[in-house]
Amino acid sequence: MNDVSGIDLNCGCPKPFSTSGGMGAALLTNPDLLCSILAALRNAMPPEISVSAKIRLLPTQEDTLKLVERIINTGVSALTVHCRTRNMRKTEKATIERLKEIVEFVEKMGKGIAVIENGDCLGYEDAKRVRDVTGQFLSLSLCDHMLIYFPQELIPL
């Protein structure tokens, strides 16, 4: 484990090669299995190795918050929320507005868990919009592009 700093369970992939095998976004329909996997990972890993999960939004915000609560209670270090449902694709606008309530909900749980935005954040203006809507500034979309976004210019890492 000397070369591992973290494990992320991707429960967001909607591609048939994942969902047909019960992986990816299929785990969203089986929260008992999803949470047992996360709890087992957390229990098996030393505390310095982070365990995180990436999810998609469920059709209702109420169901999403119930799932988020269960995931946070497994002991994860961070939660990434792809702001689309399982059936939505990149061509559909991410519903970033729903993330604000998730961030507030997780903060009220008082466990200091980071909530990371994913979806439709590809540049500085997008990052500002996400921050203004959600209070969050870290976005996996930004990390995926390996750029730091500043108003003056884009700086490759």
Q: Are the C-beta atoms of residues 42 and 51 closer than 8 Å to each other?
A: yes
Burial class (CB within 10 angstroms; exposed 0-12, middle 13-18, buried 19+) of 68: buried
Distance CA 142, CA 122 (A): 6
Set 11, 13, 35, 121: catalytic member: 13
- Residue 13 is a catalytic residue: yes
DSSP-based three-state secondary structure for 27: helix
Burial class (CB within 10 angstroms; exposed 0-12, middle 13-18, buried 19+) of 96: buried
Kindly list the catalytic residues.
13
